[in-house]
Amino acid sequence: METGKNESAFKEVMMRQETAVKALQKVNNTLSKTLEAEMGYKNHAYFFILESGYFYEYLEYSKENEF
């Protein structure tokens, strides 16, 4: 009889863990997409800076406005 209860409890724990893993995967996917978008925006800005000849101005700005 104890074995049946243990198996049932184990299955319940496994189901809850699976649910938690799926939720964390969704959060991870959302954060990954957000990070990729942010990197794309930054790359776009850096490309503009370099292509427009503002590299040295950007260096000065970066020195004065550290983040």
CA distance 42 to 48: 10
Specify the pLDDT at position 18: 97
Specify the pLDDT at position 40: 97
- 2: which 2 tokens? 């104890």
How many structural domains are present in the chain?
1
**Positive or negative torsion for Cα 43, 45, 46, 51:** positive
Mean pLDDT of 11-19: 97
For residue 1, pLDDT over 80 is answered with: no
Specify the pLDDT at position 39: 97
- 66: which 2 tokens? 């550290």
Residues 16-63: tens digit of each pLDDT: 999 999 999 999 999 999 999 999 999 999 999 999 999 999 999 999
Domain of 58 in residue numbering reads as 2-65
Question: Which among 46, 43, 65, 63 is positioned nearest to 55, based on CA atoms?
Answer: 46
> At 9, is the secondary structure helix, strand, or coil?
helix
